[in-house]
Structure 1
Amino acid sequence: MPGTATDVALDLDVLAALLRADGHEVQGGLVADRVGRGQSNLTYLVRDEHDARWIVRRPPRGELLASAHDVLREHRILAALSDTGVPVPQVLGRYVDDALAETPVVVMEHVDGLVVDRDEVAEGLGLSLRAAIGPSLARTLAAVHEVDVDEVGLGDLASRSPYAARQLKRWSRQWEASRTRDLPRLDAMTELLRRRVPEQSTHGGRDVALVHGDFHLRNVIVDPELGDVRAVLDWELSTLGDPLADIGSLLAYWPEASDGATHAFAASALPGFSSREQIARTYLEASGRERSDLDYWHALGLWKIAVIAEGVMRRALDEPSNAADGGPPVPEAIDQLVERAWVVVETAGLDR
């Protein structure tokens, strides 16, 4: 059902006027549908009367944590990547207009393709397509990390200080700001990760790379025939840092059948999808990077996802309209992420 004034956090008439003023052809009025299963920024598919399509993003409703949901920063990153080998949607507008919304709004092109964001979508894929998606994700991530941030104008996007320490500081602060309960196992993992911080890696003379920060299956659009990545989405957590953090997070978002029952989205556990080891190996071969410290970043990725999920749960409790299709995370899912992080560090001997 098309979005209405009561359930879309945008004034669509104002949006139509702004798009026209920027030279975009808009036929008649606009309708909007909430899309994606992302639980952070609100994302809409907006259509005019001739079915021209745009993707529109804005922060969630309600009180927001400091530095979170910065769609204007995301706009800057997408614009900087438009002439690189990284597949991203073209950005078409950025608007800070109280008549449109109480927050900034970004408009980008609609990219046709397949988003594997539901179990039923993954179950409908053939084995060859399932097998192609994981390696394409790994190669695309290697392409992200090959971008020369100074050359594309992102050299001042964030600090170049050691990335692990920055991540631990930021997400510990977010945990304290959004936690709904005590979770001693997460607190203990936080201390272990602080104690085992690795040195920041270098590659090709560069001290940092562009880090996507939330790279996973639901945040890409793939070719429905070949499985190649057509567009990488959701750059709001992007920063400068250690690229192994990105592959660690991808592994954290990639359950396998051997993990057992999980509350997480587990399309990757279906037959035919690559294993975590296959994805890691493809990335390392494509990027030329070393495997050292990858287990640390895998564990930190699981820990970070748990913190993010707690924040999503908090926002949904405070403002139910922020919850995406499928509902917010449940406490058991967050607990499970923390326990998976413990399995990673214990298997790798990082707890000793």
Structure 2
Amino acid sequence: MSDGDAGQLEIPETDPAALLGWLAGVGIEPAGELSARRVGSGQSNLTYLLSDDDGGAWVLRRPPLGHLLASAHDVAREARILSALAGTGVPVPEVYGVCADESVSPVPFVVMECIDATVLDNLPAAQAMTPSARSALGSSMIDTLAQIHAVDLEEVGLADLASHKPYAQRQLRRWSAQWEKSKTREIPALDEVTARLAGGIPEQRELRLVHGDFHIRNVMVDPAAGQVRAVLDWELSTLGDPLADIGSTLAYWPAAGDPPLSAAPVELLDGFPDRDRLAADYIERTGRDARALRYWHALGLWKVAIIAEGVLRRAQDNPKNRAGTGVPTPEVIDVLVAKAAQVADSAGL
């Protein structure tokens, strides 16, 4: 092992010296001192950049602090998906290892490749891109999503990743249960949307790999070329209706006048496509059902509202879970629910 030192490691609940030993076991021997800092605006699994004195860099992801809901934040499962997608054409980082040794950390973590690319989680990064590069990135995101939905589940060993039962019913059960466990208050309007979604489920025609949380802050990009270089944050990935993924993307994608879901609504900058363009491009690229997509857009907004409430709850329970960009406010969550009702109207639910 190198002369690596753990003096600057500040990963919660993790033993610095034991971490260095585990890293050596998976072939990572930092040069000089190893440091860690929290990166990204994600507020679910916590992400840290590990770096050494020679410019070596790796990424570590672990669950958030505090009480976790069953099946949530499973980094070992996320690592399995990333490893399975290697070589498929879906851009993902290489996984170096999953640590389940409680002498290193009481919760599992995964260490993966650090991609030399940009996450557009701040306005200056997106403003540095040209409008043509932003436009190209919108197209690249749709192409990437279509690639995910074209993965042969049997070939990559993911056919048993999740249930093959109808996806909408599974989503409604799962997220309704999450809502009951994580809500900070009652929202009757959300309960009404839940009932409308349950009563208007479209026919499911295929079962595909679904990312589950595909938006602009969950991809790493080449800002000059406007191309996706890696898709991140696979913890919500499952098997289901591919229209659910683009529905979630539309739910996260803001329009002028919307309350921002992030502190940096980069999607509003000149050159990025609007929601209608994204939806049309996906339907043109894949030939899937535009009418059914409206249902999945409504369900996406409903799900994002529940996720946002969970983020708010975790931040209230343990302030260390709060990302530097802040947490969703109750007002933003209320607007998401109202927009879900509006899209449900347009879908005839």
Change (3 A) 1:3 1:253: farther
Distance 1:13 1:130 in 2: 43
Distance 2:229 2:329 in 1: 32
Opposite residue 89 of structure 1, the aligned amino acid is: P
Opposite residue 116 of structure 1, the aligned amino acid is: L
Q: Secondary structure at the match of 1:156?
A: coil
Name the residue aligned to 1:78.
82
Q: Percent same amino acid at aligned positions?
A: 55
Distance 1:263 1:288 in 2: 31
Question: Which residue of the other structure, out of 133, 136, 139, is the alignment partner of 2:140?
Answer: 136
Aligned length: 342
Aligned structure 1 segments of 4 or more residues deviating by more than 3 angstroms = 2-9
Opposite residue 216 of structure 1, the aligned amino acid is: H
Alignment of 1:1-352 (within 5 A): 4=8, 8-202=12-206, 208-257=207-256, 260-265=257-262, 266-350=265-349
The more displaced of 336-345 and 234-243 is 336-345
- The structural deviation recorded for 1:30 is 1.3
Q: Contact 2:129/2:224 (CA < 8 Å) preserved in 1?
A: no
Q: Secondary structure at the match of 2:154?
A: coil
Change (3 A) 1:23 1:261: closer
Opposite residue 55 of structure 1, the aligned amino acid is: V
Change (3 A) 1:316 1:3: farther
The more displaced of 71-80 and 335-344 is 335-344
Name the residue aligned to 1:205.
none
Distance 1:324 1:318 in 2: 14
- The structural deviation recorded for 1:270 is 2.2
Map Cα deviations across residues 292-325 of structure 1 (whole Å, 9 max, x no partner). Answer: 3100000100000000110111011001001111
Map Cα deviations across residues 119-146 of structure 1 (whole Å, 9 max, x no partner). Answer: 3332332211211111111110000000
Distance 2:173 2:11 in 1: 36
Distance 2:25 2:8 in 1: 23
Change (3 A) 1:186 1:4: farther
Distance 2:90 2:7 in 1: 32
Tell me, which stretches of 5 or more residues in structure 2 are unaligned?
1-5
Change (3 A) 1:6 1:287: same
Distance 2:7 2:134 in 1: 33
What is the TM-score of this pair, normalised by structure 2?
0.94
Distance 2:11 2:165 in 1: 42
Opposite residue 133 of structure 1, the aligned amino acid is: L
Distance 2:296 2:72 in 1: 22
Opposite residue 108 of structure 1, the aligned amino acid is: M
Distance 2:182 2:62 in 1: 20
Q: Contact 2:7/2:34 (CA < 8 Å) preserved in 1?
A: no
Q: Secondary structure at the match of 1:326?
A: coil
What is the TM-score of this pair, normalised by structure 1?
0.94
Q: Contact 2:294/2:346 (CA < 8 Å) preserved in 1?
A: no
Distance 1:288 1:9 in 2: 48
What is the RMSD of the two structures over their aligned residues, measured on CA atoms? 1.6
Tell me, which stretches of 5 or more residues in structure 1 are unaligned?
203-207
Distance 1:231 1:60 in 2: 22
Q: Secondary structure at the match of 1:274?
A: coil
- The structural deviation recorded for 1:3 is 9.2
Distance 1:324 1:304 in 2: 20
Q: Secondary structure at the match of 1:293?
A: helix
The more displaced of 33-42 and 113-122 is 113-122
